[in-house]
Amino acid sequence: MSITTEKVITARELTKKFGDFTAVDRISFEVNRGEIFGFLGANGAGKTTAMRMLCGLSLPTSGTASVAGYDVYRQNELIKKNIGYMSQRFSLYEDLTIRENIRLYAGIYGLTDRQIREKTALLVRQLHLEGNEKTLVRALPLGWKQKLAFSIAIVHDPAIVFLDEPTGGVDPVTRREFWGLIYEASSRGITVFVTTHYMDEAEYCNRVSIMVDGRIDALDSPARLMQEFAATSMDGVFLQLARKAQRSAD
Amino acid sequence: MKQFFIFVKKEWLHIWRDRRTLVILIGMPIVQIVLYGFALTNEVKNSRVAVFDQSNDDATRAIIQEINASRYFSVTDYVHSYQAIGATFRKGKIRLAVVFPQDFQNDLLQRNTAEVQLIADASDPNTANTLTNYAAAIINDYQQRVDENRDLPYTIKTQLRMLYNPELKSAYNFVPGVMALVLMLVCAMMTSIAIVREKELGTMEVILVSPLRPFRVIIAKTIPYLAVSILNIACILVLSVYVLNVPINGSLLLLIAESVLFIVTALSIGILISNGARTQQSAMFASMLSLFLPTLLFSGFLFPIENMPWPLQLISNLVPAKWYYNIVEAVMIKGLGFSAIWKETLILVAMTVFLLGLSIRNFKIRLA
């Protein structure tokens, strides 16, 4: 399935203030169905806060946003049913087995027992984990854990999956494989909303936005951004924008 | 509902897989009860006795000889003042002192009645009880033997004095104390740690993004600990009845119902602590400081609250364990019914509602 012009995320003037501090400052953007949308910014630029508002974890101070067709103010329970989420910290239970983790998250999202069995088999095959279903997740190498966490985040075939720096600390080869999984999900029509620090990953995205001091300073496909900023890589684009930042990174 | 049970099962797996903690959870109350049980059933053979004989006549000498002849006692010290008795006790040389007043035999002959005083070290109350009972029985034997040859019977009154622990606090008091302590630890501390662990690991974030309602997440997390706690209570009660011979004099059902109420109190404290704590360590320290010590100090099972200065007495009222301790003591030891403890129950219910409300409210704030 290719990218459509159907909007699955729409944000208008979305703002979040903590007291006097404006973490997210009137950001507006749209994400199309099936798109891989890169959400870039230095530490402290407001990426995580923006993402938390879209996931229904945090209420916006002002502005509007809809995710999967639901309003973030009034319908966050419906949003939660239709999104997947993988946090920057490892989000599986290490003292549970691979199968138990899959079962837990699939069960939380209301899959039937039969669906859970099918999904487990599919997932284990996809990740080449056959025979390891009863291994505790603790025993897996980090790269496999991350791939498993991603697969579990989309076990219920959500409309959108939010990935918060999913490849932190993972080696380049595994990162490649990880992006293979992302493309596969995208080809099934799952919209991917991903924050990252790695600029080579930014180039894998269909479109990227770059946040500086709570605002979105640039938003386009990587190729056009490089053209616009006369840079040879996304690194160049990012550095030009990030240098303007007033806020210090936290 | 199915989601809920899947979550409860997962929570159970956490406990089950963490064998070391599980062993501590189940083993701690058993060890405490058994340890105390054996510490309190002391051997009383050949206990050393001091005698303060102010009369020094045939009768007192005969009684002293009888005491010395029994296999429970050996008279080792003859002292000449009450001060000396106290000093000998403090040196730990004796466990019992026998005091005869002046003119013991004269009193018997002329008034047919005389008094003897038994002084025991009651810091070990069970032993003190046993020793004084044995000594009194020996004196009673002597009296009956002498009486056989007389028309008008003698009466030797034994007067008991328990040093250091006049209320004879013992296993009877210890069982309710251990129950309060164990429930506080298991419910409050373990729940708070379990919740904070998820925050620390980052899994809580993922759970909060999921359609599971936060309130249900919290309830699901507490249910396995509720089960472990009920198991603990069962263990403690069985051990106290069959090992310590502490009877359950009141209604078992009432006892269990009150315990479940206290478990809910402790669980809500655990949730409250987890709201504030960011790391497992801080949750543990907060639990230790706010639960373990106050329960130990202020529930009244180690230190009598009546003897505390009034500011501490006031503080003790804020400790839920104190009320639970009073309830268990009333129901289990004194065999009283609900009418005797409705006030304590009401206080516990009020505390629970308050704590639960506060913790749920705070939990929601974290999501806003």
Instruction: Tell me the CA distances in angstroms from B50 to A226, B126, B138, B356, one per residue in order.
Output: 100, 19, 16, 57
Task: Give the least confident one: B98-112, B151-165, B206-220, B222-236.
Answer: B151-165
| CB < 8 Å to A57, chain B | 205, 208-209, 367
Q: Do B368 and A58 touch (CB under 8 A)?
A: yes
Q: Give residues with Cβ within 8 angstroms of B293, minimum separation 6.
A: none
- In the prediction, which pLDDT does B368 show? 42
In the predicted structure, residue A70 carries a pLDDT above the cut 90: yes
Chain A residue whose CA is closest to B368 = A58
- In the prediction, which pLDDT does A121 show? 93
Give the residue from A130, A88, A84 showing the smallest Cα distance to A109.
Answer: A84
- Whether B301 and B180 have beta carbons less than 8 Å apart is answered as yes
The more confident residue out of A97 and B208 is A97
Give the residue from A27, A19, A20, A65 showing the smallest Cα distance to A46.
Answer: A27
Question: What pTM value is reported for the model?
Answer: 0.74
Under the banding of pLDDT at 50, 70 and 90, the label for residue A234 is: confident
Distance between CA B346 and CA B250 in Å, rounded? 19
CATH number at residue B111: 3.40.1710.10
pLDDT digits (tens, 9 = 90+) for B244-303: 777 788 899 999 999 999 999 999 999 889 888 888 888 888 888 888 888 888 887 777
Give the residue from A215, A209, A242 showing the smallest Cα distance to A15.
Answer: A215
Same domain, yes or no, for B236 and B293?
yes
In the predicted structure, residue B160 carries a pLDDT above the cut 80: no
Paired tokens of A67: 């995710």
**In which element (H, E) is residue B368 found?**
none
- In the prediction, which pLDDT does A61 show? 93
> Considering CB atoms only, which of B10, B210, B212 is closest to A93?
B10
Chain B residue whose CA is closest to A58 = B368
The more confident residue out of B187 and B41 is B187
Bridge-based pairing state of the strands A70-71 and B73-78: unpaired
Helix, strand, or coil (residue B18): coil
> Considering CB atoms only, which of A87, A94, A110 is closest to B3?
A110
pLDDT digits (tens, 9 = 90+) for A97-152: 999 999 999 999 989 999 999 999 999 998 888 888 899 999 998 888 889 999 99
Cross-strand bridge partners of residue A14: A27
CB pairs under 8 A between A and B: 73
pLDDT average, residue stretch A177-189: 92
- In the prediction, which pLDDT does B255 show? 93
Give the residue from B42, B128, B48, B156 showing the smallest Cα distance to B92.
Answer: B48
B211 reaches A (C-beta below 8 A):
yes
φ, ψ dihedrals at B69, nearest 5°: -75, -25
Q: Give residues with Cβ within 8 angstroms of B197, minimum separation 6.
A: B280
Distance between CA A138 and CA B18 in Å, rounded? 13
Same domain, yes or no, for B337 and B212?
yes
Distance between CA B268 and CA B215 in Å, rounded? 12
Same domain, yes or no, for B54 and B35?
no
Q: Which amino acid is at A217?
A: D
- Whether B286 and B180 have beta carbons less than 8 Å apart is answered as no
Bridge-based pairing state of the strands B96-100 and A207-212: unpaired
Last residue of a domain, one of B163, B180, B214: B163
Query: How many other C-beta atoms are found inside a 10 Å radius of the C-beta of residue B314?
Result: 10
Instruction: Tell me the CA distances in angstroms from B299 to B177, B178, B274, B313, B322, one per residue in order.
Output: 7, 11, 23, 10, 4
Same domain, yes or no, for B242 and B102?
no
Parse chain A into domains and list their residue ranges.
7-91+160-242
Paired tokens of B278: 């960011």
| CB < 8 Å to A56, chain B | 209
In the predicted structure, residue A242 carries a pLDDT above the cut 50: yes
Paired tokens of B291: 């639960």
- In the prediction, which pLDDT does B252 show? 92
Going edge to edge, which strands form the sheet with A70-71? A21-32, A7-18, A62-67, A70-71
Residue reference for tokens 């007192």: B60
Total domains in chain B come to 2
Distance of CA B191 to the CA centre of its chain: 24
In the predicted structure, residue A1 carries a pLDDT above the cut 60: no
Paired tokens of B91: 């040196």
| CB < 8 Å to B205, chain A | 57, 85, 87, 89, 91
Helix, strand, or coil (residue B179): helix
Paired tokens of A138: 């603790």
- In the prediction, which pLDDT does A9 show? 94
Distance between CA B364 and CA A76 in Å, rounded? 14
Q: Do B202 and A110 touch (CB under 8 A)?
A: no
B2 reaches A (C-beta below 8 A):
yes
Same domain, yes or no, for B55 and B153?
yes
Distance between CA A167 and CA B284 in Å, rounded? 32
* A residues 100..119 contacting B (CB < 8 A): 100, 103-105, 107-110
Candidates A93, A97, A160, partner chain B, best to mutate (most B CBs within 10 A): A93
Same domain, yes or no, for B6 and B87?
no
Distance between CA A193 and CA A186 in Å, rounded? 10
pLDDT digits (tens, 9 = 90+) for A29-43: 999 999 999 999 888
Residue reference for tokens 């008034």: B111
Termini Cα distance of chain B:
25
Q: Do A95 and B203 touch (CB under 8 A)?
A: no
Distance between CA B322 and CA B307 in Å, rounded? 15
Distance between CA B304 and CA B171 in Å, rounded? 15
Domain A7-91+160-242 belongs to what topology?
A: Rossmann fold (3.40.50)
Same domain, yes or no, for B159 and B174?
no
Cross-strand bridge partners of residue A22: A17
Distance of CA A84 to the CA centre of its chain: 8
Which structural domain range is residue B130 located in? 47-163
- Whether B178 and B249 have beta carbons less than 8 Å apart is answered as no
Most confident of A89-93, B214-218, B235-239: B235-239
